[in-house]
Structures are given as structure tokens and as C-alpha cells.
Amino acid sequence: MDDLLHFRAAGTSLVLDLSGTGLPRLTHWGADLGQPAPDRLAELRAADVAQTVANALDEPVPLSVLPQQSAGWPGTPGLSGHRDSSAAAPAFTVRTRSVRAADRHLTVEAVDGDGGLALTLELGLTDAGLVRLRAAVTNTGDTPYHLTELTPALPVPAQATEILDLTGRHLRERAPQRHAFTLGTHLRESRRGRTGSDATLLQIVGAAGFGFRSGEVWGLHVAWSGNHRSLAERTPAGQAVLAGGELLLPGEIRLAPGDTYRCPWLYGSYGRHGLDELADRFHRHLRTRDGHPTSPRPVTLNTWEAVYFDQDPATLEGLARAAAEVGAERFVLDDGWFRGRRDDRAGLGDWYVDEEVWPDGLHPLIGTVRGLGLRFGLWVEPEMVNPDSDLARAHPDWILAASPARLPPASRHQQVLDLARPEAYGYVLGRLDALLREYRIDYLKWDHNRDLVDAAAHHQTAAVYRLMDELRARHPHLEIESCSSGGGRVDLGVLERTDRVWTSDCIDALERQRIQRWTGLLLPPELLGAHVGAPVAHTTGRRHTLDFRAGTALFCHFGIEWDLTAADAAERARLAEWVTLHRALRPLLHSGTVVRGDHPDPALWVHGVVAEDGGRAVFALVQMATSVQSPAGRVRLPGLDPDADYHLSPLAPGDRPEGPFTSALPWWEKGVTLPGRVLAEVGVQAPTLFPERLVLLEAVRR
């Protein structure tokens, strides 16, 4: 039937009701329905119509993907705004629809003639089974229209009774929180001008008790790097939605006649069997997008926690030689290389190599680095300015502020540069372009170390996107890391133009296990920067073994943030073993399916990566704390081909089960061969480990 649309991909079905002149309604988003005949889809639509009940509207409220108050929707409206003389809720009538069956994409054009608005809706299902949705509104009237909200929505079924979202702070990003999905609105907003350390990457709802490997789940992500909002909402009528969009501050979007505003893409992911399936859809989608890194992710040594601001050319050349010795492939010079930058109080904005520290520029250091076979990267923070800088003294009006008479509160002794101002944008673009032309720089660590306070963020975010896009167009070889006080700008908007994120400024391996676990709901391992730090973590004071630090970084985009010139020969040799292992496993780790076990002991975590063809897998057993029980008991290893036999054995150098043993495990020395179904459903006895230790296991199909 022409008024029913059924998209299918990767185990997901999306059924859209296009009947009448109203906006599209979502009849089903969830498990694949197969290929029902058109009349059966019509029956499904009929079966989805709710009763009318006492003291309700005479007709059931049609819940579209842009919910309308004018149609009787009592919850958060999909679009709201006003003209100076009217604040009437829009009522859209569909004029045209177009379907691209090949890529499962629907475009709808609608108008609100009385309100002077036109609407474009785009909705599709990717090859990975992700829903993509966005809307654009155009002012077709004769007077300005002040847009306050454009928030598309995806209905979810009654089975979704529990909410999981993430919160956090600097050095402790991605902390999960769970609670019942009750009546009302669970709203998450970020007004920080960036994604935010406390932002929820995903708003997830699901069946009570869902885990990584079980329970139906639905999740929504807002692909935007500025102010944004997402919500889970349930009405007393039993209707429930996930919705999201950009958070617009009052007066931020004023549409003159003919102007258009387009909201960010929303991504919806469904998992029939838990969070791993939901996450895998994002991973598969990202890996097939244009611009996803295809070359092996170079092992990176970053200089920050090795030298901080104490930049000395001879010291840094020695550090580069030590990096090459252990097998690093990229050397990144962090903060402190530019004029006046001896601490974090001065210099931001003056993007010229400091002649006092580097009398011959960066050429000698880059020559040494490249002579050792390493690529070269550079830290920048282009969106920021220190008041104590030549730039701020020359152009104080370039500082982003709501009023010229009032600067926002300082943070880390810095302010934000107004990149929506053409002169400021041109200056930053010119300086970065000049550096990239003069020096052989392959990589920019692009930092952003403060929130935007008392400032509109929409135009700033759009300008940052344009700046990154222009630099990539001029320098196609350039890779960019999204760093924002660590994990403060992690979203699919910035990842359209960057090659990895700095997952957190905290590289304490215990904290990183948690942070990487939950950031991985959205991003695959190759996009997560993870470094081996010093024996004592600079941010927490904890001491960890080298094997625990390196084993934690192993699965991600592996790097080093440690003064290797202070490490002894045994430590450097051991680190080199881990680097060698990572480089050998990189093709598997950065292309395979990420799996996480729902182990009953919260002190023992299980995670791993299974090759696409199921032929090989690597697992980590991580002892996060002391267990109540000892010995550890059996641990299940998920994701393997259930009908194939696998030889399971410890994987060096992660094969040292440091723990309170009374005897060795019988299977540990020679391994064990079992079917994938048995390893997933029964498991094997795990070693009892000391807290904050891990071991690696490799499963190879026989």
C-alpha cells in the first residue's frame, strides 16, 4: 500500500504510516518483521489504533515523528516558536513525499499556511539498522519567526519500562545511571556550549533489567556539539517517545522571511538482545561512513604528562627516541610550544612557534621525529584565548560575550574566541593553515578546555564545524582528534570531521575501564584514544602495574603518555611487548564486534572483540575490585560462533594471573577446546585475580 512504508535492515524494521495529509507516524520500530504482505501491514496499522476513553479527545491523537500540539499531543511539542503578534502552535499539512527505496530514505514536505511555515522531514534506516531523522523549518511568512524548539521524536513501545543514561564530570565521564521509565518527562540538557563531560551520549530505554547481552533496548543520540537536549517521555495515555535536538537559547534563532533552520541528525538504535547489539549498530554505521579512518591507527606518544609546559628541545628529542624504541608510530607535541606559553595563564590565541624555546622553529624536532620513522602531531586550542595574550590585547572585541561591558566568568584563565565573527575566524584559519603549510604536521590534537558561559552557542558550533571542514579540505592528509578537557566533546556531529576522541583526561587505568566501557556504547574502539600512563596516575594518585595500564589501553586507539626517559630498561622492554601485541591485534580489534559479558560478580568485568568472520576473538577478564567470593568461578565468553569449536588459551603478555592462588587452573597452561555455545552459555573457570589486574584470553576457531 502506498500509504504504508516498511524499511528493513540488519534485523530492524521501521513501519511508517503515511495515510492522510498528516505528518508520518511510526507504527513499529524494533525487531525485523520479515516481509509481510501489504494487507498485513494494514492490519498492523489497524491493530495499533488506541481506544478513546473518558474525557479524552473524540479521536485518537496521531503521534507523528514531529509531535504537534495542534493535533492534540499533550507532551513536549516537536516544534514551537512565535511571531511578535502570534504564538499559535503550527499545524502542518503534507504536500509531497518522496522515497528512495535503495537506501531506505523518506523525505516529506509539509506546510502550515496559516502560520507561514514550511517543514522538511528526512527519515531513513541505514545499512546497520540505525534510524536517522532530522527536520528543517523555513519561514514562508512576511515577518520574522522566533524558533524556540525543533525536537523530532521516535515512539517506543510499552515494553520500555527502564531508563539508562550517562552523566559525569571532568576526569570521571560516562557514569551510568538507571531508573524506572515513569509517567512524565526525563529531560537531559546541556547548556555548556559543547557536548559536556556530564552529557548523556545516549538516552536509552528498555525492558526492565536489560543488560549487555539481554533485553530489548532503544536508544537515541543527538549528533551535535553545542547545546542540546534529549528526553524520554511517557503520557498517561500510554504513549512514550524518545526525542532530542539542539537546545536553543531565547532569541538565538530568528528566522527572517525565507530563512531556514535545520536541526541536527538524531540517531536511533534498537537492540533485540541488549546493549551490545544497540552499540554494534553505531559501530557498523561509523565504520562504513565516508572519512572513517581506514589505515591502522598509529600508536601515539603524547608529551603532556611527560613534560607538561617544560618544553626543552633536547628533552623532547630524547623522548622521541624512547618512543621509537618501544614501537610508537606518532609523536604529538602538546601544550606549551607557542609564544608566551609557560603555564596555562597566557598565550592562547598567539599561534606562533615560541622563538625563545624554539629558535629554529619546530623543524629540528620534526626532523628528528620523522628520522626515527614517527609521524608528527601538534596540540592546539583554536577556539580559546587568554586575556594575557597579544591577540586579546589587540582585539578584545573578539572575545565571545553576551555584552561588551561584561566578560563571562573565566575558566582556566581563558575566554572563548568568537569564531562566528569573520575576522576572528579568518585569523584562526590563517594561523593554523600557515602552521600546516610550514611544517610536516599529520595530526592536530584539537582541545577545548572550558564551557561557554552566558553566550549563544549555535553560531559558534557551526563556525567550528566550518573551520575543521576547511582545514581538512586544504590539507586532506590531516587527522584531527576531538579533545575537550578530555571527553567533553564526544558526539557524532564532531566525528563527521574528526578521526578520534580523547576519551578522558584521566588515564588512571581503573577509571579508564569504566569510562571506555560506557563511551563504547556509541563509538568503536579505534575512535577512543587510550594511553598508557606513568606508574602513579597523575589525576588520582593510584599506582597500577604496567600490565594493567597497558591491557586497559590495548583495545582502543593505543598510545603512551609517560616520560619514558624516566622508565627503566625492564619497563620499556615490557611496554614494547604490549605495543607489539597491539600492532599485531589491531586489524581484529578495530574491525571486529565488541562484546561485554553480563557477569554476576560486579567486581569482575568481561569484555572482548570477536572477528567479523568469527574465526578469532580476544577477551579481557578485569578484576575491578575485590570479589565477595573466591575462587572466581566460571566466566562466560560471549559472541562466538555457537556451532564452531574454539581453542581458548591465555594471551601473552597478558597471561600472568596475579592473584591469591592456592593452585594453578588445570586448563591455563595448555588451554582448552570447547564449542562457542559452551563458552557462551557455560563458560570456564576464571583465575582469581588481585584487584586492579587483568588477563587476556584468545579464542581461535578450530
Q: Specify whether the CB–CB gap between 497 and 224 falls below 8 A.
A: no
Measured CA to CA, the distance from residue 177 to residue 343 in angstroms comes to 37
Residue carrying the nine cell digits 595563564: 345
- Residue 653: asked if its preceding bond is cis (omega within 30°), the reply is yes
End-to-end CA distance of the chain: 49
Contacts of 552 (CB under 8 A, 6+ apart): 509, 512, 513, 516, 530, 622, 694
Measured CA to CA, the distance from residue 71 to residue 77 in angstroms comes to 10
* Alpha helices (H) along 509-651: 509-519, 546-553, 569-589
From the candidates 447, 451, 508, 547, give the one annotated as an active-site residue: 447
DSSP-based three-state secondary structure for 51: coil
Measured CA to CA, the distance from residue 290 to residue 623 in angstroms comes to 38
DSSP-based three-state secondary structure for 540: coil
Contacts of 456 (CB under 8 A, 6+ apart): 249, 251, 252, 402
DSSP-based three-state secondary structure for 275: helix
Identify the helix (H) or strand (E) that includes residue 303: none
Residue 298 main-chain phi, psi, to 5 deg:
-65, 135
The one-letter code for the residue type at 285 is H
Distance of CA 131 to the CA centre of its chain: 17
Can 447 be counted among the known catalytic residues? yes
DSSP-based three-state secondary structure for 191: coil
Measured CA to CA, the distance from residue 309 to residue 341 in angstroms comes to 8
Mark 388-402 as b/e (b = at least 16 C-beta within 10 Å).
bbebbeebeebbbbe
From the candidates 198, 505, 547, 641, give the one annotated as an active-site residue: 505
Where does residue 657 rank: exposed (0-12), middle (13-18), buried (19+ CB within 10 A)?
buried
Q: Specify whether the CB–CB gap between 258 and 549 falls below 8 A.
A: no
How long, in residues, is the chain? 702
Region for 62 from its dihedrals, namely left if φ exceeds 0, alpha if ψ lies in -120 to 50, beta otherwise: beta
Residue 432 main-chain phi, psi, to 5 deg:
-65, -40
Question: Whose CA is closest to 358, among 378, 372, 373?
Answer: 378
From the CB of residue 533, how many other CB atoms can be counted at a distance below 10 Å?
23
Q: Specify whether the CB–CB gap between 50 and 238 falls below 8 A.
A: yes
Measured CA to CA, the distance from residue 631 to residue 616 in angstroms comes to 28
Measured CA to CA, the distance from residue 24 to residue 620 in angstroms comes to 45
Name beta bridge partners: 88.
none
Identify the helix (H) or strand (E) that includes residue 565: none
The one-letter code for the residue type at 281 is R
Enter the C-alpha cell of residue 203: 538516552
Which sequence positions are flagged as catalytic?
A: 447, 505
